[in-house]
Structure 1
Amino acid sequence: MPTLLRNPDPAFATLSAEVNRLMNDLTQPGARGYGLAPAADILETEAGFQVVLDVPGLDPAAIKLDIENDTLSVQADRKQPALADGATLHRSERRFGTFFRAFTLPKTVDGAKVEARYDAGVLTVTLPKREDAKPRTIAVQVK
């Protein structure tokens, strides 16, 4: 005889559905529960590296960059604006709070010459290579 599974408590079914929804939200990029870690691209050229992060809506003065022990840290706080008097929020999909990203830098980066710029919601951190780490061409001499 086959075993029948039944759910004697309908509240359990609701709880189970909520847990499944939460787990789905936590694992989907861009979902509400996914966190504030901004998407990043890392590029390398002969001159150095660039870390490009999407951080729309941030005040550039609120972005903190640190380089310590070959690690670039980027941190910022996105404040939730106050609602107008009498306003009711019916849906909130934008994310607010603090984010933190850390990137391990290659030994070839010249930490003293790092620059950052913010334009149209994109933070670009330029990390030049040390001169002795840049590729160079050596002429072969014929004798």
Structure 2
Amino acid sequence: MTLPVRRNRPSTTSDRPIGWTSPNPLAEFDDLLNQMSGLLESTVGTVAPAVAWTPLADVMEEDDAYRIEIEIPGAKSSDINVETDGQEVVVSGEIKEKERKGILRRGSRRTGAFEYRVRLPEKVDADNVTADMEDGVLTITVPKAEVARHRRIEVTHRTDTGRSAGG
């Protein structure tokens, strides 16, 4: 009986450097994205800048309204736009980079343009939407549109003479 022979293949892991080659492990992805953006711009012309990020949000339904809470720490109320278009709510804006003295050694706060979109399942009263900012959380209240109220309709019974019975 013969046994299979295991052959050593050249290992690609030994060719890789140990550890990260740059201080920021995502720098290579950023560089690749910039190159792709440059290539796209050179072939089709100027491209509108993409939205950098989408903030975290909760959407809650109440009896008479929807409440949307969006985390936007560091944003100023004057830099936030809230718009409605039918059943869609669009929140966009920008968190501006602060001017700092010295060298930034570590930065993990989100800055730049942001956008959050949500389509609500029912018709809304766009004229009465409110937005309040407190402690870095934007709360948007979107009232539901008035719908026909539920009512019970009594059914009457007609007799052969054309008159209704009971009334």
Is TM > 0.5 for Structure 1 vs Structure 2? Answer: yes
Distance change >3 Å, CA 14–CA 114, structure 1 → 2 = farther
- Work out whether 1:50 is the aligned partner of 2:64: no
Please list every run of 5 or more consecutive structure 2 residues that lacks an aligned counterpart in the other structure.
1-5, 30-51, 155-165
In 2: Cα distance, 1:54 partner to 1:76 partner? 13
CA 1:100–1:120: 2 relative to 1, 3 Å = same
How many residue pairs get aligned? The number is: 124
Q: Find the counterpart in structure 2 of residue 28 from structure 1.
A: none
Question: What amino acid sits opposite 1:104 in the alignment?
Answer: R
Correspondence 1:1-143 to 2 at 5 A: 1-7=6-12, 10=15, 13-14=16-17, 22=26, 36-84=53-101, 87-132=102-147, 138=151
- Structure that is richer in helix per residue: 1
SS at match of 1:131: coil
Q: Which has the higher contact order (CA 8 A, sep 6+)?
A: 1
CA displacement at 1:95 relative to structure 2: 1.5
**Unmatched segments (≥5 aa) in structure 1:** 26-34
Inter-partner Cα distance in structure 2 for 1:64 and 1:50: 17
- Relative to the length of structure 1, the TM-score reads 0.72
Tell me the distance in 1 between the aligned counterparts of 2:57 and 2:108: 21
Identity among equivalent pairs (%): 26
Bigger Cα Rg: 2
The amino acid that maps onto 1:96 is T
Cα drift, residue 7 of structure 1: 3.4
Distance 1:106 1:8 in 2: 51
Q: Is the CA contact 2:71–2:137 (under 8 Å) kept in the aligned structure 1? A: yes
